[in-house]
Structure 1
Amino acid sequence: MGKTTNNGFILIVDDNPTNLSVLCEALNSEGFRFRVAVDGESAIALAERNQPELILLDVQMPGIDGFETCRRLKANPVTQNIPIIFTTALADTESKTKGFSLGAVDYIPKPFAQEEVIARVRVHLQLKQLTESLEQQVSDRTKALQQAQVQLVQQEKLSTLGELIAGIGHEINNPINFISSNIPPLEEYIAGVSKLLILYEQEYPNPTAKITTAIKDLDLNFVLEDMVKIVNSLEVGSERIQNLSNSLRNFSRSDSDTKISADLHQGLDSTLMILQHRLKANGERPAIEIIKSYGILPEVNCYLGQMNQVFMNILANAIDALDEAIMHGKISNLIPQIKIATQIDSEKLVVIRIADNGIGIPERLKKQLFEPLFTTKTVGKGTGLGLSIAYQIVVEKHKGVLDVTSQPGVGTEFIIKIPT
């Protein structure tokens, strides 16, 4: 294969047979792979089809000259990074300056000295390989740094969120326990007082005018009926607050480095409960309808606190997408919906689908959705970390799959797959 990489080669561009012969002999003697083009147009076409590692380019050729050939190669993203060495008999400074300004890396003067050709070619091949190696190292280091930063942010967010939610859940629990524990005796007292009043009415059917007036002003019969309804409302309200408190504690209780067997439906329901205030109608859009199609799922061995964070990020994004679609008039007459479906697939993976009926995501942006710091939201509306953290939790922590499908004007669906 010579001293170029496995499929690499050097492209020689020259219309003079003698020059070609000398250059070919020099490269061949050192085992370099090479191809030949006799004019600028064919050189450009060849380089676009199969990029060479280096181009030896004659300046004076029929058709487009070497300078124009160089300009076109550098203007094309496919070929712009290929090093170009001009071969020329023009020794004046102006010609050399023009070549360098167009992006050439070196000159080899004519007539050729074989040793000089080989030396310059070898140097620039090594420089190219070093540059590519350095770029790859920088890319790898940058990617590793981004992943480390995302992981730190994720751990920080989960830790802070877990502590905050656990604290709120604890603070809610104390007063609501006090309220709910006092409702049953209150019901007994109200029932007893009502029974006593009815007994008074039976035993003393002809009260004084003052009592009659007081009963009429109070609308006693209505009050007796409504007190029961009020207590029932207190029961329902306290039960809802207890459910919220339980959801908050369930959301945060498993935020640890230990996997536990967990009911993901409970995680989804807890997350929906926490997001309930964002699902309600807000004056600019109607309430968001949640449509659940839960299958029968086994308990999953997972980091439940982290999985709840995934649900939170994806559901919050779905709500944002529906807000954006309706509030900015991108979709009119839309009944906003989020559909959540769960099932076990043929590979025994738990599959959770979360879909909205918003405006969808452009195809060109889908590949970037899970990249750290990428966001489609306006300044101040998003960090660009939510989905990258979700991806890290699902794919890296749980060896699962996180994917997205979208149709413009139809909506977006996130698919989570987790091994049981």
Structure 2
Amino acid sequence: MNEVLEKSTILVVDDSSDNLSLISGLLKDLYRLKVANNGEKAIKIAQADKKPDLILLDVMMPGLSGYEVCQALKADPSTRDIPIIFLTAMTGADDEKKGFELGGSDYITKPISPPIVLARVKTQLQNKAAADFLRDQNAYLEKEVSERTKEVMAIQDVTILSMASLAETRDSDTGNHIRRTQYYVLALANSLQAHPRFSEYLTERNVRMLFKSAPLHDIGKVGIPDRILLKPGKLDPDEFEIMKTHTTLGRDALANAEKSLGIDVEFLKMAKEIAYSHQEKWDGSGYPEGIGGDDIPISARLMAVADVYDALISRRIYKDGMPHEKACGIILEGGGSHFDPDMVDAFMKIHEEFKEIAQRYADGDSDLEQKVKYIGQAKT
């Protein structure tokens, strides 16, 4: 600590050359010194790149007073942490009180006692060194936490997309389906944030969680047999019953993953809701539970609109993609039966944004050709 203090720089501010000489003579063998004979010069020196570690400041000076200098330095983020010791002939209690109220660290009256000045200077420098160390440590820790958080989030995102892509490789849906639905959900959630029915739920944090969770909506399809999942035509009733189990399979897979961690994972709560309930319908005619209305989680209702829209416009092996306008008509018609009517109203206001997302993440012919090849191999 003594080595640190010996390297400290002290700015002495006084309009009296005699006082500057006196204080400089007292401190010059222990510290590096800078001097200023007026407030304006003191501020300029304090704001320079090489800032002092401590300021000894006279109060009564022509031009800017010591109080005004202190006030200016404490208002500047670059100098507000420099401790200031007032060194003045003003001995009144109100004067001393004002000095502390303006941010002074200490108040010494003239005539000075050299041992007292040396002791108080050392104390303030030690306090500043400790404060600087803590600030540096806090800044380091904040940076480390930020970097680790980014790393964890990146690993989390890669894991989610990998899991979602695994499901997609077994499905006859086009490759960019998970990316499109992810952005559809984001757009629809953003458009509903100010809606009185949804504003409490659709916080910025929850919207981010929705975006993160959306790709897992069909993760349960991993557990559906190829003969059903890859069938190029309409499923018969028995096959459809098996296909419907993908919602429960997805929810249970995520729940088991969460259980193995031994903690509740926030984004997996939404992911479980979406995987399990995105096939429910507003009128209660969906699956797996046949619930309706507000009993369906908001996350799942958002995904229902996104998932159906993308299914309608996307080309499949067994069908061509539907024009955007026709798909919008079907979504509009489904308001109050298949979909939450307020969500349909929001969709219709931003349907061009859905169209733009679909075009941005469109699948090429090669994607479909790969699916055809994969299905052909699965059947042999």
Larger Rg: 1
TM range (shorter): 0.3 to 0.5
Q: Which has the higher contact order (CA 8 A, sep 6+)?
A: 2
TM, length-normalised to structure 2: 0.46
Bigger strand fraction: 1
Bigger helix fraction: 2
